[in-house]
Amino acid sequence: MGSAPRLILAAFVAALTFAVPAHALPGRASTAALQVALKANGLYGGDIDGIRGPGTARAVRVFQRRRGLAADGLVGQRTRRALGRRGGPTLGRRPLKRGSRGWDVAGLQFLLAKQGFPSGSIDGGLGGKTDRALRRFQAWAGLPSDGIAGRATIRRLKRPSPQSPVRLARPVSAPVGDRFMFRGSRLHAGLDFPAPSGTAVLAPRGGTVATVGYDPSGWGNFIVIDHDAGVRTLFAHLSSTAVRRGSSVGQGRLIGRVGSTGGSTGPHLHFEVFVRGANVDPLRAIR
């Protein structure tokens, strides 16, 4: 093979690897459901992240000892039964809809968040927020948006998480703080860049300004930009904005400045990336 074909093949493989990485958020739905059940019993205070770390394993053994079970740390049928209604059913055993509660609902909420459709707290109860997130995911995935999580929906939720099909420049000259990760019982759906108030925020790619607004209890001053390939970016907690709705911006254009407005506890930029409405990890797009 000549050098030109090799270069073309290498570029194709690199592009494919960028668009569809082998993994995104770690964690398993069953472990997240276990963490929710242990938290409800007052034994687990860590993140509902689906990762079976020392805190989760320790909580399982404490629960087993309290219930007179062999404290082997293994979550078998006896341990699941001892957890009561939070110990079952296994995800996929029944269709889930508004009002459903249990182990499987917690797993559903976890998978929805991994796919970029967080529904608030992962708590094992399918209420209004989870119902809306479920319907949005179903519409996004080309499934009937009926709010019923049956086998087809569960199978689709278990596919690799979506990723940005385009690369983005870094929106601010600052280190990354909190990442796209599970924090407490929720998904932190973006990147935080701690920076002094007034630090310039730049458009990470050319596009059209879709929204310039203010959310007093959440994002504060925020901007949303439409890019190509169904990608949107959001910039929150700004001290000021420098663009108007409907205006075109090029990559590197000043769009606003870092602040601490809305529900912020200190000056930083909160940055989110969406692909056709699904939250994706911004760091993977920047890399």
Domains of the chain as residue ranges with CATH: 29-157 (1.10.101.10), 181-286 (2.70.70.10)
CB atoms closer than 10 angstroms to residue 155: 11
Q: Over the stretch 117-175, which tens digit does the pLDDT of each residue have? A: 999 999 999 999 999 999 999 999 999 999 999 999 999 999 999 999 999 999 999 99
pTM: 0.89
pLDDT at residue 55 is higher than 90: yes
Residue 50 gets the label, from left (phi > 0), alpha (psi -120 to 50) or beta, of left
DSSP string, 249-283: E-TT-EEEEEB--TT-SSSEEEEEEEETTEEE-HH
Among 15-19, 165-169, 215-219, which stretch is predicted with the lowest mean pLDDT?
15-19
Burial of residue 253 (CB within 10 Å: 0-12, 13-18, 19+) is middle
What is the per-residue pLDDT for 285? 96
Q: Which amino acid is at 255?
A: I
| Separation of CA 186 from chain center | 8
DSSP code of residue 149: B
